[in-house]
Structure 1
Amino acid sequence: MTVLDSSSATASSQVFEALKRDLIRGQFKAGEKLAISSLKSHYQVGLSPLREALNRLSAYGLLEQVNQRGFRVPAMRLEELDDIANLRSQLECMALTQAFQNGDAEWESLLVAAHHRLRRADEKPEQIEEWEQAHLRFHRALLAACGSSWLLRFIEQLHDQFDRYRRMAPPNPEVRRQLDAQHGELVEYALNRDISGGRALLDDHIRLSHDVARGCCDV
């Protein structure tokens, strides 16, 4: 049960974030129609802020509106995942180029620190959510100096959509080890301002993760 702030605006924002997190984690099944009464009870929120949050999640792409009468979790569609991965590669490589060009010493320090926390999280495989948060922060730090808030906003939305698929796919320890190693290589490319090498590796990183995520459409 999630207890939220009583003010409508704050409660709506809080339930939006809580529901978004649970949708990405796979707490609701693909195709599942959400019961408003159950959501009100689980998130301890009133009808008005809940509906506002559900409408926002529908606009965000993590829910679908059903005949303007309810909401359901989108199905897992392979063609959609392929599209998301392709757009991620294009936009994140664009942001990486700009970040490598604009990044300063503070950005480098934040990136190195984010990678250190991710490495520490790698040492505790049982703490899945800790790793997920460290992983998200690392990728944010990598692109943070790109200078475009709109570009980062689009990337964040695509990353959330992609993670909904990835987290529902069967684990692949061998690929996970490759992806973890690539994080360190991305830091080296960033520190050396090697744009071509960084772009190639980031594209491969996304494609490799994409191959794993495609497994969710086979289960």
Structure 2
Amino acid sequence: MNQHIQPPTSTASSRIYDILRKDLVGGRFAAGEKLAINALKEQYQVGLSPLREALNKLAAYGLLIQENQRGFRVPRLSRAELDDIAQMRLALEGMAFEQAIVHGDAAWEAELLAAEHRLKCADMTLDKDDEWERLHTQFHRTLVAPCGSVWLLRFIEQLHDQFDRYRRLGPKMPVIRQELDQQHHELVELAMQRDAQAARTLLDDHIRKSYDVALQCFLEHSG
């Protein structure tokens, strides 16, 4: 009679997947670190079955490397990989933003204004905490949301997570950070004006500036 009730392991697996994904992107584990299954079970208070399911999903997603049937390791930092990720962001995110400007409706404009307002309120401090990161991610998701391609959005989401592994470990660089914060407002203005060409040019510059921050992370951690 309970065959339609979702198994508790599925709920636990989804929960630990979300938590581990956030921690991996946020730099809680060192690049190249081997994850100890028993330590993770204790740390996250989760059973072996849902933990392994989450780890396998994270490996398929690219945030972990599965070395064999039992071992998982955090991917190492690589300048070549960072450059590749940044180039793909420029290509795919720019394309999605242009399409979003073409297809976005009044509801999208309202969501974009709201996302920018929430992020601006969080921009009052240069101490970028987890809440700012959440709002920043939501802002960039909203920018491209109506692009019309589910697969394009999936690829962009994955690229953001990989890119943020580098960026969040970078130095504060307040001058560049202030420029990036100002560009969030300018991106919204150009979107409202439906100026797709200028919007993409600005987004390209925005990604390149963020790359400069991420690159410093790589240089510091590889030196």
Report the TM range for the smaller structure's normalisation.
Answer: over 0.9
Structure 2 unaligned runs (5+)? 1-6
Match of 2:102 in 1: 101
Match of 1:116 in 2: 117
Provide the C-alpha distance between the structure 2 equivalents of 1:58 and 1:100, rounded to a whole number of angstroms. 34
In the TM superposition, residue 131 of structure 1 has moved relative to its aligned partner by 1.1
- Give the match's secondary structure for 1:218: helix
Match of 1:140 in 2: 141
Provide the C-alpha distance between the structure 2 equivalents of 1:192 and 1:9, rounded to a whole number of angstroms. 44
Q: Is the 8 A contact 2:85 2:159 kept in 1?
A: yes
**2:16 alignment partner AA:** V
Structure 2 residue 221 is matched with structure 1 residue 203: no
TM-score calculated relative to the size of structure 1:
0.95
**1:87 alignment partner AA:** M
Write the mapping of 1:18-167 to structure 2, written as runs, cut at 5 A. 18-126=19-127, 128-167=129-168
- Give the match's secondary structure for 1:160: helix
Between the two proteins, what is the percent identity of the paired residues? 60
In the TM superposition, residue 127 of structure 1 has moved relative to its aligned partner by 5.6
**2:146 alignment partner AA:** A
In the TM superposition, residue 164 of structure 1 has moved relative to its aligned partner by 0.7
In the TM superposition, residue 18 of structure 1 has moved relative to its aligned partner by 0.5
Structure 2 residue 169 is matched with structure 1 residue 168: yes
**1:160 alignment partner AA:** D
4+ aligned runs moved over 6 Å, structure 1: none
**1:16 alignment partner AA:** Y
TM-score calculated relative to the size of structure 2:
0.93
User: RMSD of the TM alignment (CA)?
Assistant: 1.3
**2:14 alignment partner AA:** S
Provide the C-alpha distance between the structure 1 equivalents of 2:159 and 2:128, rounded to a whole number of angstroms. 24
In the TM superposition, residue 181 of structure 1 has moved relative to its aligned partner by 0.7
Q: Is the 8 A contact 2:126 2:174 kept in 1?
A: no
Provide the C-alpha distance between the structure 1 equivalents of 2:71 and 2:80, rounded to a whole number of angstroms. 25
Q: Is the 8 A contact 1:76 1:216 kept in 2?
A: no
Match of 2:4 in 1: none
